[in-house]
Chain A
Amino acid sequence: ETGVTQTPRHLVMGMTNKKSLKCEQHLGHNAMYWYKQSAKKPLELMFVYSLEERVENNSVPSRFSPECPNSSHLFLHLHTLQPEDSALYLCASSQEGTGFNYGYTFGSGTRLTVV
């Protein structure tokens, strides 16, 4: 496996379900991110983990719960979602802390539909 992998690629869930999105990076990066992409909106930053510590929670509802057990893995736990939460959820990773940024590498995303 190379780059950033996300599973599942597609997810349909009911409003009462609990599910988790998984992200794994194989690049040796030390920071990982969750972004939400809805139609006709810019990428919305949800969570940032740097060296396994959450450094930013961008006013995300508590029905989204991130988990970063180590620098290579990132999860997004979902429960009691709303239909407006339907979107493309993107994971990204980067190497931080060197005073220079080479950009993020994105995973292929999870297309989430809440019914």
Chain B
Amino acid sequence: QKEVEQNSGPLSVPEGAIASLNCTYSDRVSQSFFWYRQYSGKSPELIMSIYSNGDKEDGRFTAQLNKASQYVSLLIRDSQPSDSATYLCAVIQLYSGNTPLVFGKGTRLSVIA
């Protein structure tokens, strides 16, 4: 069974610090990786995707992927109180059919002003 594991948190960081969110996955053939942000009572919003080993940067967000270790992370630089949310990791295989995304339980981030 494919699994995606995340620490549920809460992860508390002071404003301006770097928040580091981690995710491990069990299916070695997973090829596409996503981070979603979900504010309380709202739907998930895609913020980052990564497909190859290494780092991918987008503004204050950096996604890091290590397929050998089956590990993907999200770094948020200069954390702001508005970043306080639950961050969901999701993985999927490259496929020719239709294999749905598998989500982790999410890590709740709290940025303290």
> Which chain A residues numbered 57 to 115 have a C-beta less than 8 Å away from chain B?
88, 90, 96-97, 99-109, 111
| Contact partners of A106 in chain B: CB under 8 A | 36, 43-45
The 8 Å CB contact of B98, one of A40, A55, A90, is: A55
Find chain A residues with CB under 8 A from B104 CB: 42
Residues of chain A touching chain B, judged by Cβ–Cβ distance below 8 Å, are: 31, 33, 40-43, 45, 48, 50, 55-56, 88, 90, 96-97, 99-109, 111
Complex formed: what's the CA distance from A60 to B4 in Å?
Answer: 21
Taking CB as reference atom, which chain B residue is nearest A47? B100
B88 interface residue (CB < 8 Å to A):
yes
Determine the distance from Cα of A9 to Cα of B58 in the docked complex, in whole angstroms. 31
User: A41, A55, A107, A108: which contacts B105 (Cβ < 8 A)?
Assistant: A41
Interface residues, chain B, with chain A CB atoms under 8 Å away: 4, 8, 32, 34, 36, 41-46, 49, 88, 90, 92, 94-98, 100-101, 103-106
Give the residue of A33, A56, A97, A109 whose beta carbon is less than 8 angstroms from that of B43: A109
* C-alpha spacing A48/B102, complex, angstroms: 13
- Which residues of the other chain, B, contact A31 by a CB distance below 8 angstroms? 98
Q: Are B46 and A103 in contact (CB under 8 A)?
A: yes
Q: Are B43 and A103 in contact (CB under 8 A)?
A: no
**Chain B residue with the shortest CB-CB distance to A108:** B43
Q: How far is the CA of A31 from the CA of B92 in the complex (A)?
A: 15
